[in-house]
Amino acid sequence: MAERVYVFDTTLRDGEQSPGATMNLDEKIRMAHQLETLGVDIIEAGFPIASQGDFEAVQAIARAVKNVQVAGLCRAVKGDIDRCWEAIKDAKNPRIHTFLATSDIHMKYKLDKTADEVLIMAEKAVKHAAQYTKNVEFSAEDASRSDWDFLVKVTETVIDAGATVVNIPDTVGYTQPFEYYDMIKYLMDNVKNVDKAIISVHCHNDLGSAVANSLAAIKAGARQVECTVLGIGERAGNAALEDLVMAINTRKELYDVETGINTEQIFPSCRRLSQIIGMPIPPNKAIVGANAFAHESGVHQDGVLKNRLTYEIMTPASIGQLSNNIVIGKHSGSHAVKNKAEELGYNLTDEQVQILFKAVKDLADKKEQVFDEDVEAMILEKVYRRLDRFRLVAMSVFSGTGDVPPHAAVVMEFGREGEDIETKRISEFGEGSVDAVFQSIYSLVGVSPKLEVYSVNAVTEGSDALAGVAVRIENDGVKAVGRANDGDVVKASALAMVNALNRMEKAKEEK
Ligand code: KIV
Ligand code: ZN
CA distance 262 to 256: 17
Letter for the amino acid at 260? Answer: G
Segment 283-298, tens digit of pLDDT: 899 999 988 887 777 7
Per-10-residue mean pLDDT for the chain, 511 residues long? 96 90 88 97 98 95 98 98 98 98 98 98 98 98 98 98 98 98 98 98 98 98 98 97 98 98 96 85 92 78 80 91 64 84 84 91 82 83 79 93 92 86 95 96 96 83 77 88 88 94 82 64
pLDDT for 290 equals 84
Residue located nearest, by CA, to atom 7 of ligand 1:
139
| Helical segments of 108-173, H only | 115-132, 148-161
Whether residue 141 has its Cβ less than 6 Å from ligand 1: yes
Domain boundaries, the chain: 3-277, 297-322, 334-383, 390-510
Rg of the chain (C-alpha set): 25
Q: Is the CB of 99 under 6 A from ligand 1?
A: yes
SS3 457: strand
Q: What's the CATH class of domain 3-277? A: alpha beta
Residue owning the nearest CA to atom 6 of ligand 1:
99
By most ligand atoms within 8 Å of CB, the mutation choice from 12, 44, 47, 141 for ligand 1 is: 141
CB-based burial of residue 470 (10 Å sphere; 0-12 exposed, 13-18 middle, 19+ buried)? buried
CATH assignment of 390-510? 3.30.160.270
Q: What is the pLDDT of residue 345?
A: 75
The one-character DSSP state at 264 is: G
Ligand 1: residue whose CA is nearest its atom 4:
171
In eight-state DSSP terms, residue 293 is: T
Ligand 1 centre distance from Cα of residue 3 (Å): 25
Ligand whose nearest atom lies closest to the CA of 80 = 1
From the CA of 141, give the closest atom in ligand 1.
3
Q: Which atom of ligand 1 lies nearest, measured to the CA of 13?
A: 8
In order of 14, 191, 226, 228, 352, the CA distances from 11 in angstroms are 6, 30, 9, 4, 27
Give the per-residue pLDDT at 510.
66
User: DSSP letter at 279?
Assistant: -
Nearest atom, ligand 1, residue 99 CA: 6
Give the residue whose CA is nearest to atom 2 of ligand 1. 171
439: nearest Cα among 449, 426, 430, 452: 430
Query: Which stretches of 77-192 are DSSP H helices?
Result: 78-88, 104-105, 115-132, 148-161, 177-190
* CA–CA gap between residue 169 and residue 483 (Å, rounded): 33
CA of 12 from ligand 1 middle (Å) equals 13
The span from the CA of 267 to the CA of 213, in Å, is: 23
Contact 364, 330 (CB under 8 A): yes
341 CA distance to ligand 2 middle (Å): 33
pLDDT per position as a tens digit, 392-412: 999 999 988 888 899 999 999
CA–CA dist 122, 193 (Å, integer): 16
Q: What is the Cα–Cα distance from 63 to 89, expressed in whole angstroms?
A: 9
Instruction: Output the CA torsion sign for 380, 382, 384, 385.
Output: positive
What are the backbone angles phi and psi of residue 200, rounded to the nearest 5°? -115, 160
Cβ(14) – ligand 1 distance below 6 Å? yes
